[in-house]
């Protein structure tokens, strides 16, 4: 999935009317991606450890891999704050912020339609 001129992403399927949905889903379709974006929307830039604490249940490796993937997809940016001790902050890019409506709709839909499992 590459950016074309103007910062837009190329549609990678045959161009049917569902291709934009598929392309968008491929950006946030992994389990933790929407959660990470949601936490960065709510809290602003976070360090790795703070983000790991805020995304309950994610391992360090999965978080690291997810952040790398989101950075590759130009949704998250990584900024080195200091070398000693080494500290990095993760924040949403403009493209990442543009997903706010989608992520908030996902949360709203979930609040409306999902229930806790019975024991």
pLDDT, one tens digit per residue, over 65-110 is: 999 999 999 999 999 988 888 889 999 999 999 999 999 999 999 9
| Cα–Cα dist 66/52, whole Å | 11
pTM higher than 0.85, yes or no?
no
| Cα–Cα dist 50/81, whole Å | 14
């Amino acid at each position: 999935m590459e950016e074309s001129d103007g910062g837009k992403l190329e549609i990678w399927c045959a161009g049917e009317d569902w291709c934009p949905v598929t392309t968008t889903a491929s950006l946030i379709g992994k389990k933790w991606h929407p959660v990470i974006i949601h936490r960065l929307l709510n809290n602003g830039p976070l360090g790795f450890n703070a983000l790991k604490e805020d995304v309950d249940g994610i391992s360090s490796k999965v978080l690291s891999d997810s952040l790398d993937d989101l950075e590759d997809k130009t949704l998250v940016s990584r900024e080195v704050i200091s070398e000693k001790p080494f500290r990095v902050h993760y924040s949403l890019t403009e493209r990442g912020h543009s997903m706010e409506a989608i992520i908030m709709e996902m949360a709203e839909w979930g609040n409306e339609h999902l229930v806790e499992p019975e024991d």
